C-alpha cells in the first residue's frame, strides 16, 4: 500500500502500462513479471491491471544480420512470428533468445500492440527509453490527453512530473 498523509492508494487499484519501442523485450518482460511474479511472490497484478505497448512504426526483431531485422506489423500474432522464425532457422533464433522471448510474450497476450493505436487510460505509465518517452508524450498530446493531470506522487518520485508538464505546456 502506498500512503501519504492525505490519501492512500493500494497497488491493486491502479492500472500500470509498460512501453518500449517494439512491445517485445523490456515492456513485455515487465508485463510478464507483474502478471506472473518474477521472482515468485513479488509485485503481482491481475491481468486487467497491466498492459504493454510499443511506439515504433513496426515490430523489429533481430535477424541474422544487423542490417536485416525481422519486421512484423503490430497486431500480428506472436504464434505467427514464432512459426515464421522456426521456419527460417529455429536453432539460430533459440540461440539468440528471440524464440524464448516470443514464447514468454505469447503467455501474456496474443500480439504486440502499438501505443498510438491501442492505448487506454493508465494510472502509471512506465517507459524504458527517452525516445519512447517522447513518443508517448506526443501520442498523449495527439490523442488529446494533454489535459490529463499527472498528480500521482509516483511520478514526482521519479522526477518525471516536471518533465511531463513542461513537454505538454
Q: What is the pLDDT of residue 167?
A: 43
Question: For 115-128, how does the pLDDT look when each residue is reduced to its tens digit (9 = 90+)?
Answer: 988 888 888 889 98
pTM of the predicted model as reported, rounded to 2 decimal places: 0.74
| Nearest Cα residue to 20 out of 91, 125, 145 | 125
| Nearest Cα residue to 124 out of 40, 49, 39, 22 | 49
Is the pLDDT assigned to residue 35 strictly greater than 50?
yes
**In this predicted model, which residue has the larger pLDDT, 5 or 21?**
21
What's the average model confidence in pLDDT over 39-43?
58
Torsion of CA 110, 93, 26, 148, to 10 degrees: -40
7 vs 157: CA distance, rounded Å: 16
Task: Report the percent of the chain where pLDDT is more than 70.
Answer: 72
Residue count (the chain): 169
Q: Where are the domains of the chain?
A: 10-168
Amino acid at each position: 500500500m502506498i500512503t501519504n498523509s492525505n490519501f492512500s492508494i493500494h497497488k491493486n487499484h491502479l492500472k500500470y502500462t509498460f512501453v518500449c519501442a517494439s512491445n517485445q523485450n523490456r515492456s513485455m518482460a515487465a508485463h510478464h513479471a507483474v502478471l506472473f511474479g518474477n521472482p515468485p511472490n513479488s509485485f503481482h497484478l491481475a491481468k486487467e491491471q497491466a498492459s504493454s505497448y510499443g511506439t515504433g512504426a513496426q515490430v523489429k526483431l533481430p535477424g541474422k544480420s544487423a542490417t536485416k531485422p525481422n519486421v512484423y506489423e503490430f497486431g500480428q500474432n506472436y504464434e505467427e512470428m514464432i512459426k515464421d522464425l522456426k521456419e527460417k532457422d529455429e536453432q539460430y533464433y533459440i540461440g539468440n533468445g528471440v524464440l524464448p522471448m516470443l514464447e514468454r510474450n505469447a503467455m501474456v497476450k496474443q500480439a504486440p500492440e502499438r501505443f498510438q493505436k491501442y492505448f487506454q487510460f493508465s494510472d502509471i505509465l512506465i517507459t524504458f527509453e527517452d525516445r519512447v518517452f517522447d513518443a508517448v508524450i506526443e501520442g498523449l498530446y495527439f490523442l488529446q490527453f494533454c489535459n490529463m493531470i499527472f498528480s500521482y506522487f509516483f511520478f514526482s518520485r521519479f522526477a518525471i512530473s516536471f518533465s511531463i508538464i513542461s513537454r505538454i505546456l
